[in-house]
Amino acid sequence: MRIIVTGGAGFIGSHVVDAYVAAGHEVAVIDNLWEHGGGRRENVNARATFVEADIRDDALGRLFADFRPDLVSHHAAQHSVAISSRDPVFDAQINVLGLLNVLENSVRAGAKKVIFASSGATFGEPEELPISEATPQRPESPYAITKMVAEHYLRFYRNEHGLDFTALRYGNVYGPRQDPNGEAGVVSIFIGRFLAHEGVKIFWDGEQTRDYIYVGDVVRANVCALERGSAGAYCIGTGSKTSVNAIYRALVDVTGFEAPIERLPRRPGDVRDAQFDPSLANLELDWQPQVDLLEGMRRTYEFFRDKEPSRAGSLSGRRGA
- Which residues are known to be catalytic? 143
Closest to 244 measured CA to CA, from 195, 268, 209, 198: 209
Query: How many whole angstroms separate alpha carbon 222 and alpha carbon 232?
Result: 13
The answer to whether residues 255 and 189 touch, using CB atoms and an 8 Å cutoff, is: no
| Bridging pattern class, strands 209-210 and 242-243 | antiparallel
Nearest C-alpha neighbor of 195 from the set 306, 295, 320: 306
Euclidean distance between CA atoms 253 and 218, whole angstroms: 26
Longest dimension (CA), the chain: 65
The SS3 call for residue 210 is strand
